[in-house]
Structure 1
Amino acid sequence: MWKRTIPFKVDIAGVIEIMGSSLYSRIDTPIRELIQNGHDAIMRRRTADLEYSGRIDVVQNVDRGTITFSDDGIGLTAEEAESYLGTLGIGITGILKGRQGLEAAEHNTGSGDDLIGQFGIGLFSAFMLADRLSVESLSVAGGEAVRWEAGPGTEIQLSQGTRTTPGTEITLTLKKHLEKFASEEQLLEFAIKQFADFIPIPIHINGASARVNVIQAAWFDSTLQRSDVEMEIASYFDESPLDVIPIHTASPVTIQGALYVSPQRTPGFTDDSVVAATIRRMVISRNIQDLLPPWASFLRGILELPDCSPTASREDLVRDQHFELTRRVLSDAIFEHFEELAQQQPERLEAIVNWHRFTLAGSALAEPLLRKILRDSYRFLTSDGELTFDEILKKSEADPIAESEAEYVIWCNADRRQEAYLSELFRSGQSICVHAIRSFEEGLLAALIADTTDAIVDLRIASPSSPGFAESILGMHDLEEATPDWQEYFDASEVKVSIASFATSQPVMAFLNERYELSKTLESLKNTGDIPRGFQRLIDAHFDAAPAGQNEVILNRQHRLIGRALSKGTRSPLANVTRLLVHNALQSAGAQTPRGAKSQLADDLDWIAEMLWGRD
């Protein structure tokens, strides 16, 4: 038996490769990391000197192919440079924030509350851009300056530096194929604005007097008017918000910032709800997912989230208990805002709902709180104009004589082809018809009815097969199914035939069944082999569980021609005329004509011509 203690060996080139290919997603990430180092150094110096402000400078040198990052922060002693700069995974910020334990923290002073970094890997990310890295630093505590220099290998050179003022200067000698970062100022400016636009320290490029970062943003200030926030959001994001939701909470988590309703319509539910997040004003990501409710894909904005933790790459947030709590607080704040809008500015809420109708209607199917908001702000098309659900309910009181249980009966049409026809029918009576013809509306209407627990509400399809429709809406009486011989006579038309008495001016009424029409279209596609097998199995299972039904036709026994045809039977010449009238009614309603019915129609027309004029 034997054992041996050996030290860990680190392949620096390998670690850099991992950073570039797996940890960081962007080649300009080192710019963020080095600015972050300067930020933390300045914030540490500010805690000891309240009159000190600090700044960061980034300078390009085209001739040498270098970028230099300078700060006038707390600086490093030679001992600190040796301990922290050359050890992957240990950083002063991480120690101050408690990540390396209490023992290490005892040797350092200051608070980590305003610091960003914590993992001790930021400096090494510079090797993604550079072949060589040098650091010149002088501690504000005094002593001599130190120079730290390294390439991508394992050896580090430490020597006496030449810096004469407190702070740190980091110079990257860029790789040949990345020397554009030393010549193209817009690349640096873009990266700085992407990552560090809001950190409370001015950043200057190439000695310019004007800083490149914004620093102050109205949405982080809880004292400003909403109109000021709205104007600044419009300017920064280059789009005019439909509404702004300032969010400033201190408990149970701290959140500062604002969300806004984007005027950009989200095309579908594949879009994620995303928001920009900062921690101590450094942008972690402009596309944080899972933080906003899934239905709120039209919301954008920036939020300062000091209680959340960044991942090691600092490109996302850790999904821990703080993230989950922040998510719940944001969800509550968004719902509260829209509820307040419903009370104080209902017209504005209606405009938002109308603009993002597709997303909201679909999402509300699974969100009871969202349905509560839409109840008085989402307008359905009806035979009496556009109405909210509560307005529809008021106009849908059931006839207590005809209805023994339902207090309200809502008639619904989901077929766009019958919108004008049914609207005309309903305008002559006391009831209204809801045209749930846009995406998700039929399901939303049913869900809103299910939410109405203080009354019995019955949702019925505007069709003769629905209870009460023929009598109360169409004014029919004595409705009955056609006899088998008449039903068989119309088999080729694939319709359900009924007989009733109604206004003598109309011989036939036709009503379409949207599911039936859809089933015939899908059957046609199935026969041509255009539907993949997996989808076809789902379609078959759906219609097996809920049969499609048929289009419906009602023959008016009060009409002179129809009454005479019914009395003479299916062998009478008037039966052919009746079948022609049924075909006309179905076609006018927008029904597809089955192949067998087309052939039968031609025969009927020939027969009628023969009866009128005789054979040639």
Structure 2
Amino acid sequence: MHVRVHRVWSRQIPFRVDIAGIIEIMGSSLYSRLDTPIRELIQNSYDAILRRRARDLQFRGRIDIHQDAAAGTLTFTDDGVGLTAEEAEQYLGTLGIGMTGVLKGRRSTAVKSTIVGDGEGLVGQFGIGLFSAFMLADFLKVESRSEDSDEGVCWEAGPGTEIRLSSSDRTQFGTSVTLHLKPQFRMWCESLESLEGGAIREFADFLPVPIHVNDRPARVNVINAPWFEATPEPESLELALADYFNEAPLDVIPIRMEHPLTIAGALYISPQRTPGFADESTVAVTVRRMVISRRVRDLLPAWGSFFRGILELEDGTPVASREDLVRDDNFRALRRTLEEHLYQHLEDLADQPGSRLESIVTWHRYHFAGAALSEVRLRFLLRRVYRFQTSKGPLLLDEILQQSAADPLYENDLESVVWYNADRRQERYLDELFSRITVPCVHAVRSFEESLLAEMLVDEDGGVELRQATPSARNFNRIVLGMTDPEDLAAGWQDYFSSTDARVMIASLASGPPVVAFLNDRYELARTFEELRREGDIPTGFQRLNDAHFRQAPTGRNEVVLNRTHRLVQNALRSGVSSPLASVLRVLVMNALTAAGAVRSAGAAAVQAEDLDWIADALRGPGA
């Protein structure tokens, strides 16, 4: 019998890195832009200069970028701290171990002690910046000379795994990185505008180190911006923001704080009206003056999507691609701090004399109204500056409440009754009705304004009731219309008015027109859907939803009230449905409904035409 013997074995193997695969991942997943390697190499140069500044407080430094179209190369040169041969071997060729990352604590203390300097103010972190250059180049050459070395070092690599390290006769301290560009990326060594106007200004405009291109004396980057100054002059700050963002701010909010987090920069209120209050607010962010992104989301409160600006966030943590910030505890703390600062700024504006905040709120009216539905603090701010349109003109909430005191004869359980209208078609009509009394009617004709008004009144904590201005609302007939003794018309008259598709009643009104009409929104909506259904314009699934909705809550009807105290109504009812006055009364009923915004059906239009003919014949008289 043959017995198999199981061999026990083990061995250690090194990690292997497919450089070509890593570069493909960088290009397709990690970085979203092809100019990212330019940002990474500028960043490396900047960190090297800062490390030299830490050793020599008088040293300033500069970065030079040189295009050579003939050779197809792009070279980045700095006069920073430079590299020794040992540092070049250990850090340039090892993916994921960058010198800056080591200095900032991403490796052991023992490893950190082998490098001169510290991580204060440095931008880099992950040790992948140099490798990103292979996205654009098929060959890299690095020449460097450290202050701590008697000779220079040359580091050369292609996209494979072999690296050539050799001595260099370089005498100048600092580092040069030359990219031998792939044919499809030659524009970086041929187009000055792409390099300067695109990559450099996009990422490095504010780096406090001058960047020069092709040995030209003028630097490319701005370096200084008013929003980074400790005490910026207001007018220069506003002009700088207008120039940078290409729009004139409605209001500027300088920000400079050290506690609980370090934040510098400025925000402003954009004049651009956002399409809706669900838009996300965005802001440009720099970390140690390197632009991380011009559209960092979630940093500002959701209710403030009209805020724009640029912030230097020393406590922000860039993601690996350095195109956004990590949503960590620091990010959440920054968000809370900024929201508190913005609230405080707006509340301070509300305390100042004049109407600056009111003008801003009026400009972004619907955004503020919608956002305040879920923000209690924003609602309390708006009640000081947000004016609702009413029958008495634009009024603040407190002004509405002062004029809406409940009538103690009928409302002894309430302090205030706020009447509102949710239908734009009835604004003029209800303005006329409410003109007879001191109480205003609020025109909350957009759904979120109606909800905002309701939420603000809930914040009052009792004693206030919101009522829609319709005859079916409690005490509307008595308080607003001065109506008494309402009753339905006799059956014969109901049949006579059937073409109006409305419930017709009669009552005594203190004063006013012979006919008063009120729309039922649900009835008008149901009629609109019915017309669309007959024309075949509603999808089947949507029609089922409509049918279910209206089955659960009946639509009701429009309502018309005839004023029995008016002489025309009295005479018409006395004369009967066959008299010309009956036709006049039916025309008035139809016109009242139309004035209130009702849609006249084809049948009703035909009946009205007949009434007008009958009236014309009656006025002409016999034998005319």
Secondary structure of 1:246's aligned partner: strand
Query: CA separation in 2, counterparts of 1:414 and 1:383?
Result: 13
Q: Deviations over 1:526-569 (max 9, x none)?
A: 33333345544554555455544332200122233433554676
Residue in structure 2 matching 1:143, options 135, 150, 157: 150
2:387 counterpart residue number: 379
Query: CA separation in 2, counterparts of 1:450 and 1:536?
Result: 35
Q: Deviations over 1:117-153 (max 9, x none)?
A: 1111100111111111100000121231000011111
- Measured after TM superposition, the shift of residue 610 of structure 1 is 7.6
Q: Deviations over 1:74-100 (max 9, x none)?
A: 100111101111111110011111123
Q: Does 1:388 align with 2:400?
A: no
Q: Does 1:179 align with 2:182?
A: no
2:284 counterpart residue number: 276
1:266 counterpart residue number: 274
1:592 counterpart residue number: 599
**2:339 corresponds to which letter in structure 1?**
S
Query: CA separation in 2, counterparts of 1:354 and 1:576?
Result: 47
Q: Deviations over 1:328-357 (max 9, x none)?
A: 111111111100110015511011111111
**1:423 corresponds to which letter in structure 2?**
D
**1:233 corresponds to which letter in structure 2?**
L
- Measured after TM superposition, the shift of residue 419 of structure 1 is 1.7
**1:265 corresponds to which letter in structure 2?**
R
- Measured after TM superposition, the shift of residue 310 of structure 1 is 0.8
Q: Percent identity?
A: 58
Query: CA separation in 2, counterparts of 1:370 and 1:545?
Result: 35
Secondary structure of 2:155's aligned partner: strand
2:5 counterpart residue number: none
Residue in structure 2 matching 1:397, options 405, 411, 417: 405
1:204 counterpart residue number: 212
Query: Which segment drifts farther, 458-467 or 70-79?
Result: 458-467
Alignment coverage as a number of residue pairs: 615
CA contact (8 A) 1:96 1:111 kept: yes
Query: CA separation in 1, counterparts of 2:250 and 2:112?
Result: 48
Over the aligned positions, Cα root-mean-square deviation in angstroms equals 2.4
1:67 counterpart residue number: 74
Residue in structure 2 matching 1:328, options 322, 330, 336: 336
Equivalence map 1:194-593=2 (5 Å): 194-269=202-277, 271-438=279-446, 440-453=448-461, 456-482=463-489, 486-487=493-494, 489-502=496-509, 506-540=513-547, 542-544=549-551, 546-566=553-573, 575-593=582-600
- Measured after TM superposition, the shift of residue 275 of structure 1 is 0.5
Q: Does 1:17 align with 2:24?
A: yes
CA contact (8 A) 2:153 2:167 kept: yes
CA contact (8 A) 1:477 1:501 kept: yes
Query: CA separation in 1, counterparts of 2:330 and 2:554?
Result: 49
Query: CA separation in 1, counterparts of 2:543 and 2:568?
Result: 45
CA contact (8 A) 1:393 1:410 kept: yes
**1:366 corresponds to which letter in structure 2?**
S
Q: Does 1:77 align with 2:84?
A: yes
2:4 counterpart residue number: none
1:156 counterpart residue number: 163
Alpha carbons of structure 1 residues 541 and 205: separation in structure 2 relative to 1, 3 Å = farther
Query: CA separation in 1, counterparts of 2:509 and 2:287?
Result: 72
CA contact (8 A) 1:362 1:439 kept: no
CA contact (8 A) 2:422 2:447 kept: no
1:31 counterpart residue number: 38
Query: CA separation in 1, counterparts of 2:439 and 2:551?
Result: 34
Q: Deviations over 1:444-486 (max 9, x none)?
A: 1111111112x51221222222222222222222223445664
Query: CA separation in 2, counterparts of 1:55 and 1:548?
Result: 75
Query: Which segment drifts farther, 101-110 or 390-399?
Result: 101-110
CA contact (8 A) 1:406 1:458 kept: yes
Alpha carbons of structure 1 residues 390 and 534: separation in structure 2 relative to 1, 3 Å = farther
- Measured after TM superposition, the shift of residue 20 of structure 1 is 0.9
Query: So what's the TM-score if we normalise by structure 2?
Result: 0.93
CA contact (8 A) 2:39 2:204 kept: yes
Structure 1 gap segments, 5+ residues each: none
Query: CA separation in 2, counterparts of 1:181 and 1:598?
Result: 72
**2:472 corresponds to which letter in structure 1?**
S
- Measured after TM superposition, the shift of residue 370 of structure 1 is 1.2
Query: CA separation in 2, counterparts of 1:547 and 1:327?
Result: 47
Q: Deviations over 1:476-500 (max 9, x none)?
A: 2222344566445544422232221
- Measured after TM superposition, the shift of residue 574 of structure 1 is 5.5
Query: CA separation in 2, counterparts of 1:20 and 1:381?
Result: 54
Secondary structure of 2:42's aligned partner: helix
Alpha carbons of structure 1 residues 316 and 400: separation in structure 2 relative to 1, 3 Å = same
CA contact (8 A) 1:240 1:263 kept: yes
Residue in structure 1 matching 2:48, options 26, 41, 47: 41
**1:350 corresponds to which letter in structure 2?**
E
Query: Which segment drifts farther, 240-249 or 398-407?
Result: 398-407
Q: Does 1:112 align with 2:112?
A: no
**2:173 corresponds to which letter in structure 1?**
P
CA contact (8 A) 2:227 2:237 kept: yes
**1:159 corresponds to which letter in structure 2?**
S
CA contact (8 A) 2:296 2:324 kept: yes
Query: CA separation in 2, counterparts of 1:28 and 1:603?
Result: 76
**2:94 corresponds to which letter in structure 1?**
T
Alpha carbons of structure 1 residues 599 and 146: separation in structure 2 relative to 1, 3 Å = same
Query: CA separation in 1, counterparts of 2:623 and 2:542?
Result: 52
Secondary structure of 1:385's aligned partner: coil
CA contact (8 A) 2:481 2:510 kept: no
Query: CA separation in 2, counterparts of 1:15 and 1:44?
Result: 29
CA contact (8 A) 2:277 2:368 kept: no
Secondary structure of 2:315's aligned partner: coil
Query: CA separation in 2, counterparts of 1:239 and 1:481?
Result: 61
Secondary structure of 2:466's aligned partner: strand
CA contact (8 A) 1:136 1:162 kept: no
Q: Deviations over 1:369-411 (max 9, x none)?
A: 1111111111121222211212222222222223212211222
Structure 2 gap segments, 5+ residues each: 1-7
Query: Which segment drifts farther, 542-551 or 494-503?
Result: 542-551
Alpha carbons of structure 1 residues 100 and 547: separation in structure 2 relative to 1, 3 Å = farther
**2:185 corresponds to which letter in structure 1?**
L
Secondary structure of 2:303's aligned partner: coil
Alpha carbons of structure 1 residues 155 and 389: separation in structure 2 relative to 1, 3 Å = same
